């Protein structure tokens, strides 16, 4: 089946109905070859208000559909996406610049989360507690929240939406998606796939909504008291603004923000695992994953060996068109990202950082977005190392004791993903203990990037504290209600309080 992406690139949709938005035109250019993919009309403030009203109305009927029925529809959406896996994965790869394998992997995550959510739809369990009062039942239920706003980042143009939408839907919420202004065409392609299923089930307009646009639309969602939960993925700067806007109205937010992830290679590490994990973690998606490996700590005795193995691996890397399966690394998203890359390299150099590989723009590619991945010997406390630069830059550092490595790893503002490579049980367990990694994700003999949907995904500190996807992350998309039923003929009060009248 061909993927329908040509149509009117209407940036405002309430499901099966789409229309042009009143906002400015977004032109999407591919970083792969610099060509324009399409123009998309984006939403303005009035469009946003109208869509919120439609989503609110749809919530009233969607929440009444039994959760397992909602789950069946989400499963069908996953199946429909599966039909278009190659086409959608290719478009994601072309619009974002990640390798085709990663584009396909992203779509696979969408399918997987729909399957997960369908199963979850029968498992939105609440507890029953023992009441201290006779003839009383004490229990809890989980109810849907209302309209969930999903703000997503450019680097996962479609998967992040699905992690949120699939779970939010089975929980009984309706969703409004504000994708990145850098990847609007992938979002429209998803709408075109999903709307077929919505139509076949005669679902009301408003269960799925799309509003393309820049941060102003995201801001409007964050400020709206009608958005029960704002799930925002992106930079810490954006998350801080969303947190403040939702807090001002005492609303809920789920924040998935920047990372500054580290791998520790301990003396006993199996380098046949560690080296490929570090290289994939550092250069995969051209260093534009929230879980990209940005810092590498190596036990001093292994430092020279690891350095030379890394340099050998980097020399083998093929940088090129990400749609070519032979390429290991594609372009950065745009020329601003290229500037940020050179800026970070320059700042590290000014601090005394030693570049072990060349930092170069590959001028043979017309888009002007292809750079070489770099390794820099650095120090953890340098400001540039403390920041997340969304580019393939790996800072290399040595350590003597495992305590020192964990201390350095934790000494950054972000807390997303972390790894240790070791064959020493004590080191591994120390790393996973409360005194170990302070990140939301901590792995042993597994790199920092490439999480599975079955676990709860997210991180601490400047990463925002949110959790989405698997495990019990669904609870964020529901409100908990504690219930007490008295089936007796007396009215005993809790804590033994007496009130005789």
State the residues that interact with ligand NAD by CB under 6 A: 151-156, 178, 180-181, 214-215, 218-219, 222, 233-235, 238, 241-242, 256-259, 290, 388, 390, 416, 463
Q: Of 73 and 412, which CB lies nearer to ligand NAD in the complex structure?
A: 412
Please state the closest distance from residue 258 (CB atom) to ligand NAD, in A. 3
DSSP SS3 for 351: helix
Pick left, alpha or beta for residue 461 (phi over 0 → left; psi -120 to 50 → alpha; otherwise beta).
left
Contact 288, 153 (CB under 8 A): no
Sequence-ordered list of residues with C-beta below 8 angstroms from that of 428, at least 6 positions apart, any chain:
420, 422, 444
**Distances in Å between the alpha carbon of 453 and those of 109, 115, 317, 430, 472?**
7, 11, 28, 26, 12
Asked if residue 393 lies in contact with residue 345, where contact means CB atoms within 8 angstroms, the answer is yes
Is 265 in contact with 306 (CB distance < 8 Å)? Answer: yes
Candidates 76, 102, 109, 256; catalytic one: 256
Instruction: Please identify, using beta-carbon distances, which residue of 232 and 398 lies nearer to ligand NAD.
Output: 232
- The nearer residue to ligand NAD, 242 or 278, going by C-beta atoms, is 242
How many CB atoms neighbour CB 24 within 10 A? Answer: 15
User: Cβ of residue 256: shortest distance to ligand NAD, in angstroms?
Assistant: 3
Q: How far is the CB of 312 from ligand NAD (least distance, A)?
A: 29
Q: Compute the distance between CA of residue 66 and CA of residue 95 in angstroms, rounded to an integer.
A: 37
The residue number whose beta carbon is nearest to ligand NAD equals: 218
Residue nearer to ligand NAD on the CB measure, 44 or 152: 152
377 catalytic, yes or no?
no
Do 230 and 149 contact (CB within 8 A), yes or no?
yes
Taking a C-beta distance cutoff of 8 angstroms, is the pair 39, 26 a contact?
yes
Cβ proximity to ligand NAD, 84 vs 156, nearer residue: 156
Residue 378 structure tokens: 């650095």
Q: Which residues pair with 273 in a beta bridge?
A: none
Task: Tell me the catalytic residues.
Answer: 256
């Amino acid at each position: 089946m061909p993927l329908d992406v040509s149509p009117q690139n209407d940036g405002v949709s309430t499901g099966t109905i789409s229309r042009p938005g009143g906002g400015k035109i977004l032109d999407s250019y591919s970083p792969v070859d610099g060509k324009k993919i399409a123009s998309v009309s984006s939403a303005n403030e009035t469009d946003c208000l109208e869509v919120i009203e439609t989503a609110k109305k749809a919530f009233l009927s969607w929440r009444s559909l039994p959760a397992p029925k909602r789950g069946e529809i989400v499963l069908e959406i996953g199946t429909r996406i599966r039909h278009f896996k190659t086409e959608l994965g290719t478009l994601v790869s072309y619009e974002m610049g990640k390798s085709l394998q990663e584009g396909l992997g992203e779509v696979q995550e969408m399918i997987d989360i729909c399957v997960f959510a369908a199963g979850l739809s029968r498992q939105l369990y609440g507890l029953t507690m023992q009441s201290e009062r006779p003839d009383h039942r004490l229990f809890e239920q989980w109810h849907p929240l209302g309209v969930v706003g999903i703000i997503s980042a450019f680097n996962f143009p479609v998967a992040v939406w699905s992690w949120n939408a699939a779970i939010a839907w089975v929980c009984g919420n309706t969703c409004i998606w504000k994708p990145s202004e850098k990847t609007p065409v992938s979002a429209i392609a998803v709408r075109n796939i999903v709307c077929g299923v919505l139509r076949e089930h005669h679902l009301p307009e408003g269960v799925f909504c799309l509003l393309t646009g820049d941060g102003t639309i995201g801001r409007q969602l964050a400020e709206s008291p009608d958005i029960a939960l704002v799930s925002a993925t992106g930079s810490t700067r954006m998350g801080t603004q969303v947190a403040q806007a939702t807090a001002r109205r005492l609303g809920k937010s789920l924040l998935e923000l920047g990372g500054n992830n580290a791998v520790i290679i301990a003396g006993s590490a199996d380098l046949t695992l560690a080296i490929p994990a570090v290289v994939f973690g550092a250069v995969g998606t051209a260093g534009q994953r929230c879980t990209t490996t940005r810092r590498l700590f190596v036990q001093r005795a292994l430092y020279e060996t690891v350095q030379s193995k890394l340099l050998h691996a980097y020399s083998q890397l093929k940088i090129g068109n990400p749609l070519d399966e032979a390429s290991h690394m594609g372009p950065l998203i745009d020329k601003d990202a290229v500037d940020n890359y050179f800026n970070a390299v320059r700042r590290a150099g000014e601090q005394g950082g030693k570049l072990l590989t060349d930092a170069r723009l590959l001028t043979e590619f017309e888009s002007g977005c292809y750079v070489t991945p770099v390794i820099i010997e650095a120090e953890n406390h340098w400001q540039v190392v403390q920041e997340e630069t969304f580019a393939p830059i790996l800072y290399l550092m040595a350590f003597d004791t495992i305590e020192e490595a964990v201390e350095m790893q934790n000494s950054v503002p972000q807390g997303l993903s972390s790894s240790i490579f070791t064959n020493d049980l004590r080191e591994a367990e120390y790393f996973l203990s409360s005194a170990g990694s302070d990140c939301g994700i901590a792995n042993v003999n597994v790199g920092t990037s490439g999480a599975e949907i079955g676990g709860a995904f997210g991180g601490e500190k400047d990463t925002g504290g949110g959790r989405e996807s698997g495990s019990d992350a669904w609870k964020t998309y529901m409100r908990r209600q504690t219930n007490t039923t008295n089936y007796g003929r007396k009215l005993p009060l809790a804590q033994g309080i007496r009130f005789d009248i």
